[in-house]
Every structure is written in structure tokens, then in C-alpha cells.
Amino acid sequence: MATHNETGHKGEAMAARFLMEKGYKILARNYTFQKAEVDIIAQKDDVLAVVEVKTRSTADFGTPESFVNKKKIGLLVRAIDQFVIENDLDVSVRFDIVGIVIKPGEKPTLHHLEDAFYFFE
């Protein structure tokens, strides 16, 4: 497996653990619909958090969160609409980003940005 794939998997596992420690229940990981993949779908109370995880080995070229673009946002919105319909859920939906930097030899940093897509409009 390529190093960047390993970094991504490690970041998704870290994000899932972080969310569970904060009281979220993980409903799905790597949910796919058409061309979209949702990294983590988690629920806390009556809020469904759709979490895009971005993991990098450095922030030299920008924060991991800054790598989510409008096309990705559109794909995530369509995918989560399908997930809610499939599972007959009655919840509020929120889109989050968890940005993680894993520098070799250093402690990883994690930043959870709730309602992230409001910041990208």
C-alpha cells in the first residue's frame, strides 16, 4: 500500500476514535454512493455528522481542511441524502472536517471543524 494511503487510513482511524471519545456513535465508515465516498458518518443526539477526514504529513502547502473543494462538497451532499433516505433517519445533518497532520517523529495534530461547509461558501 502506498504511504499516502497508509497515512489516510491512519488519519481516519484517529478521527473515528476522537469522535467516539466525544460521545459520537459511528454509523458508517467509507460509505459510498455513486462517485462519492463519505469517510465517517456519526451521530450524537439528533445530529448526523458527515465527516470528511483530510490527513497530511505536513501543513507546508496548507491545512488539511483547505483541500476540500466544492466538487467534493456536492458529492458528499448527494451521498448523505441517499444515506438518510436508505436508513429512514429523522435527524439534522451537519458537515464536518477533521484535519490531521501526522509528521514523522512528532505527535499528530487533529483539528475538528464543525459545520465546516459554511466556511467554504
Q: How many Cβ atoms from other residues are within 10 Å of residue 85's Cβ?
A: 9
Secondary structure letter of residue 24 according to DSSP: P
77-103 pLDDT, tens digit each: 999 999 999 999 999 999 999 999 988
| 116-120: long-range pairs with CB below 8 Å, 24+ | 116/52, 116/65, 116/68, 117/73, 120/68, 120/70, 120/73
Quote the number of domains for the chain. 1
Where residue 57 falls among pLDDT bands split at 50, 70, 90? Answer: confident
Rounded distance between C-alpha atoms, residue 19 and residue 104, angstroms: 23
**CATH for 49:** 3.40.1350.10
List the domain range (segments joined by +) for residue 24. Answer: 3-120
pTM, entire model: 0.88
pLDDT reported for residue 121: 45
Q: What proportion of the chain, given as a percentage, has pLDDT over 90? A: 62
Return the exposure string of 6-18: e unless at least 16 CB atoms fall within 10 Å of the residue's CB, then b: ebbeebbebbbeb
